[in-house]
Structure 1
């Protein structure tokens, strides 16, 4: 079995996947240099799902010890929920005053808030639920579904991986068939049951990508793969080929008409929104193994840091975009300068949230769970005191905004 090591290049790739999603959402205001029109950049979410399965299977190779499953689930909660909670508060504070009824309509609004806080909103195949509050959090809802299943997958993998893949494949095909048979609408503007909810948001469909990531991790951990040797030039060629295949796949996904004509609208929709998981997997595997120059650049500290704050960037960018949307026409007049300011605000906010909420809260929760020695906790408190102050300040600001909007 291969020993664990840092996969810094994969961490940096997270930033570029998150940036693709930011480009997509910012396109109506700032444009995207034609990128969002040529290719469905939202496929970056698929990268995250495949990478999630890969990293978890690489880091958690079994649950043989008592309490290991519980600790895994606590670790996953600590990784995603504190930042999700804080960004949800910030979203409420900044956005609700635009249209309270739409965003928070009485009892249903409370139910949607509860679904968001428990991260089950995407399990309900309706746009108004999956995209309620900080809409991008739907993917974290899917991730929570994957986390709950992950110990089962790992426990059954060695003997039943082929059956599990077959079952997941049938689920995907089944939903595509149902989408075609029921003639579900593909327009994202439709608020009823549509392909958006049943294929794009649906964790039962998206879990296939997560399982593919687990499969790749198992391949990566076999000695035979690591026996492959080539020169730096050879690795450079493989890196370029992996990137080129992703670009080609994205461009093909941008024009899914031929697949839709042959296999139905739902199949074309699937390919356009999430269908290049195989290419994402190849990219992940190449850069996990690579000793080439692109991998070396991706492993530099600045790019690794951008990868580390990518989760914060993913959660905060939609809040910023929604907040400035009413002023879109005025902002467009500033051109590239306005776009540069937007990115600067997004990255600075992401860094603050990472340092002030995401990282310290994760350590706080896991240290509380693992508490054995008082000195260990005291060291933690001392080292994280500055960021804890920033975290508390962000929460206070969010609560204050909510109060001001209600006045």
Structure 2
């Protein structure tokens, strides 16, 4: 399977954007920003100007993760050697086991470090490490069971709940994509998008962050990535032939889509998370194609720092809040908030690097080892299964 290093770098940049956005959320002025209200000018800059891309695009970055997952999974599934048990084992080793290690560390840190006499920082910060532990809460977090409050220990895990759910059923969801023409694939995708939008609209504001209905919505984001992967060669070939000014316009369009929320601002009808997610997904698709077909943009993404950032991106996503919460609880009354953020930032990268070396890489190796054994004991899907045709 061809691996696109540029996309790994984009994932790394997205993980860094999530980190920056979360660090800013501890400031009440940033957290409580509303488009229709007068707010500090510095907050306006990072919310409604092009600076938003780097400081306030956390949700957009998660959409990038989902599109990328759909892209990568389609490429890995759409081949004659695909075996479902092998696929599931590798996904569990790649996603769940590193998550399990991180959530155990988060739970332990919360129990050992958090305390009730910390002064108010922001409503967002107060949602985490403040709920009493219980067996039910622990079981749900350890096993991804049910719909539960993911803010308690490490609020980034909400996206991993959807990631794992969708990964389990994704090979079957892309069956209508395999062997179908573009028209039929688009009809299938649009039908699912319409169904998910209708379902969420009928449910209104009662949708929880880990809701099955929300997973259905994110399935469509995965499928957008899958459709991009299916026609990637045609799109890349076409983009390679266009002139640089057109490429620049396309890249600008992608960035504009990525900062769509800040541009729309007060127009509530257009600035809802469902419509916004599809606009961002469109921009992400352009970004992906440009990253592998633009020599200038591609060479920038191949910088060794961005490549390293891409490698540790999953661990950075898992550990940056654990680091942030820990440092604030330990040093809030001893150091300035600026120093705390700087120390936490450094620690986040240290923890991520250690996790990549001693958790992620061994888990990937474990997945390969287990799948080799699985094939030996004939756990693979039969050769005549639809997914292997």
- Partner Cα separation in structure 2 for residue 270 and residue 177 of structure 1: 9
Q: CA deviation at 1:321?
A: 1.5
Could you tell me whether the CA contact under 8 Å between 1:9 and 1:295 is conserved in 2? yes
TM superposition score normalised by structure 2:
0.76
Q: CA deviation at 1:197?
A: 5.7
Equivalent runs, 1:183-332 vs 2, <5 Å: 184=205, 193-194=206-207, 196=209, 202-222=214-234, 225-226=236-237, 229-230=240-241, 234=243, 238=247, 240-254=248-262, 256-257=264-265, 259-260=267-268, 262=269, 268-271=272-275, 275-290=279-294, 292-326=295-329, 330=333
Structure 2 residue 75 is matched with structure 1 residue 52: no
- Partner Cα separation in structure 2 for residue 369 and residue 331 of structure 1: 50
Instruction: Return the structure number with greater helix share.
Output: 1
Could you tell me whether the CA contact under 8 Å between 1:46 and 1:209 is conserved in 2? yes
Change (3 A) 1:288 1:324: same
Q: CA deviation at 1:150?
A: 1.8
Could you tell me whether the CA contact under 8 Å between 1:256 and 1:272 is conserved in 2? no
Equivalent runs, 1:2-401 vs 2, <5 Å: 4-29=1-26, 34=43, 37-38=47-48, 39=52, 40-42=56-58, 43-62=60-79, 64-65=80-81, 68-97=83-112, 98=114, 102-106=130-134, 110-120=135-145, 124=147, 128-157=148-177, 158-159=179-180, 161-179=185-203, 182=204, 184=205, 193-194=206-207, 196=209, 202-222=214-234, 225-226=236-237, 229-230=240-241, 234=243, 238=247, 240-254=248-262, 256-257=264-265, 259-260=267-268, 262=269, 268-271=272-275, 275-290=279-294, 292-326=295-329, 330=333, 333=336, 335=338, 338-371=340-373
Change (3 A) 1:93 1:9: same
Secondary structure of the 1:134 match is: coil
Change (3 A) 1:174 1:320: same
Q: CA deviation at 1:22?
A: 0.6
- Partner Cα separation in structure 1 for residue 374 and residue 84 of structure 2: 19
Gaps of 5+ in 1: 185-192, 374-407
- Partner Cα separation in structure 2 for residue 275 and residue 316 of structure 1: 29
Secondary structure of the 1:6 match is: coil
- Partner Cα separation in structure 1 for residue 6 and residue 68 of structure 2: 12
Change (3 A) 1:171 1:372: closer
- The count of residues paired between Structure 1 and Structure 2 equals 339
- Partner Cα separation in structure 1 for residue 6 and residue 225 of structure 2: 16
Gaps of 5+ in 2: 31-41, 117-128, 376-389
- Partner Cα separation in structure 1 for residue 251 and residue 281 of structure 2: 13
TM superposition score normalised by structure 1:
0.73
Q: CA deviation at 1:105?
A: 4.0
Change (3 A) 1:325 1:228: closer
Change (3 A) 1:55 1:249: same
Root-mean-square deviation (CA), in Å?
A: 3.3
- Partner Cα separation in structure 2 for residue 331 and residue 314 of structure 1: 27
